[in-house]
A and B are shown apart, each in its own frame.
Chain A
Amino acid sequence: MEHLKSFLDGELDLASKAEVETHLRQDAELAKMSADFSALSSALKGVDPGKPYGLDQLQSRLSGASAAESKKIWRFAGWSSIAGLLLVIAMIPGLRRGGSASDAMYKSSEGADMAITSTPATSSAEAAATPAPMAPTGEAADSMPTESLAGAPSMQAKAAGGFEGGERERGREMLNEAAKAYKPTRLLPAEDEAKLSIGSSTPGAPYGVYLEKSGNVTVEVEDLMRAVDEATGMVTGLKGFVVTSDVQNTANGGTAHMTLRVPSDGFPAAMNKLQAMGEVKQVNSASQDITGETVDSASRTRSWADEEKRLIDELRKARNNDEKWRIRASLNDVRANLEAQRAQLNNLKERGNFSTIQVTFTRGASSGGWAQGAFGDAKNGLGSIGQVLGTIGIYFLVFTPVWLPLAIAAWMVSRRRR
């Protein structure tokens, strides 16, 4: 009689209730059970849970939890702000790099302009000193020697018109067009040009760009002497030579310093081979644009050569000894200058045709090498962390006008909420 308990608790509908009542009247055992259930129920009502305590504590906890929740939100907001700030800081170098990249592109473009213009600039040493016949207003136009357009007067006029509006890009385009249209006169007779030819032109540049390349590489090797021999063999194979070699081999390690000169065309291969000889500790390379110096030197050489030729003609035509002595004296001076210029040009040719590589081979101590390496790595790591923290601190300091008002506002709001 499962409904009995529900009946006693008043949880039955009328029909079921009547049915149970009927059963109770007819069934003595059921009536006894009902009485027992009622007695049990009454007894259970006597359970004493005790006097409640802790409401005050709960209320303070609830307000504390609310404040903590609020604090949590503010803490989250604070950390988010800091994270955002750090993100901005992290992005700034990237943006600056991006800006630098575009600047570099622009400068590179300008550099190309310079390369375009500098070669024609050597067509006349005197022309460099003459005032520009036009007055370009753009930056590119400012850096453009006027003689570069001497062979293309129509383009010069166009370019001048374009620059007056300050349209740098347009000016640069016109400059390039002018440079393409311009046919440079020979600096020297063909044979002298061949003699004076230096360096290698950069592919794609309208006129030659002459670069002096240099590299520096530090490699840790197991056998110093073997590394020196290999480097020497490699340089010789590239038709270069060893300028200096200094080996200090001790029981606890050692170093070998070498200065190598390799043909510029073989510079990348030489650097790669040196780096493949051991564990690279440091490597860098650089290129110096010596185009200006080279074409200037070539121009002066040609001028002195022309002067020498003119004096020789005058010497042939001299009518008396006094005139001959005077011309010979001038000729001696001119030849001295010509030799000096040729020497300088040869030096530039050497610098352009050959690249310099400073290589250092090191060998660590046989025992405790890993410990020293680990110590060195740890020291470098500590230095890096310090540098990073210092950088962050500097950014934090510099950005004080940005974050400090926000932090103060957040603090005041949180305090008011409390």
Chain B
Amino acid sequence: MAVIVDYDAGNLRSVQRACTEVGLAATISDDPEAIRHADRIIFPGVGAAGSAMKSIRKSGVDVALQHAFRSGVPILGICLGLQISLEFSEEDGQTTLGFLPGKVCRFQLRNRDLKIPHMGWNEVEVQRRHPLLEGIHNGDEFYFVHSFFPEPEIPTTIFASTQYGREFCCAAGLDNFFGTQFHPEKSGRVGLGLLDRFRNWDGQIAE
């Protein structure tokens, strides 16, 4: 069974409905035991890094996620779920889970016409092949809502990028963890396609 990690971080049912649409049965849970026994995990989220970390530490979800990551269970992080999978976030100066070496930075854009949050549809450029990105063409657009962006330390963990005043990483992964800054559940057919590939992903990044 797939588990959508609940840590009071927003609209989880939209993620669940999109999973249903692609035939991935997923329950929403904040129970560390359920997460420990999940055969795949979706780690979504909107909101602030500080309160998210506080919530998952309190419930023990952080330890369950660490366990799942080390056990090779496929994990998909979405938006804040990707951000707090890095080591550190400039938002609230927060130490985060650290599946992926690197940090999360705040947009600091000189062009005042570029609004924060970065909200809406933007193009994704695939930098490196990944099973979850198969079938996505450069220029395909996904839906974003965020004020911070991931900055992975290891170049080979960056799989796709987007331009907004600067280039930033919008998809990153290491081993059985993969995360997107955009929202596949709100990105129409291309987003559902990514979720569909996650449904069958074995957690390996084949070359």
| Same assembly | no
Residues in B lying within 8 Å of A, measured CB to CB: none
Residues in A lying within 8 Å of B, measured CB to CB: none
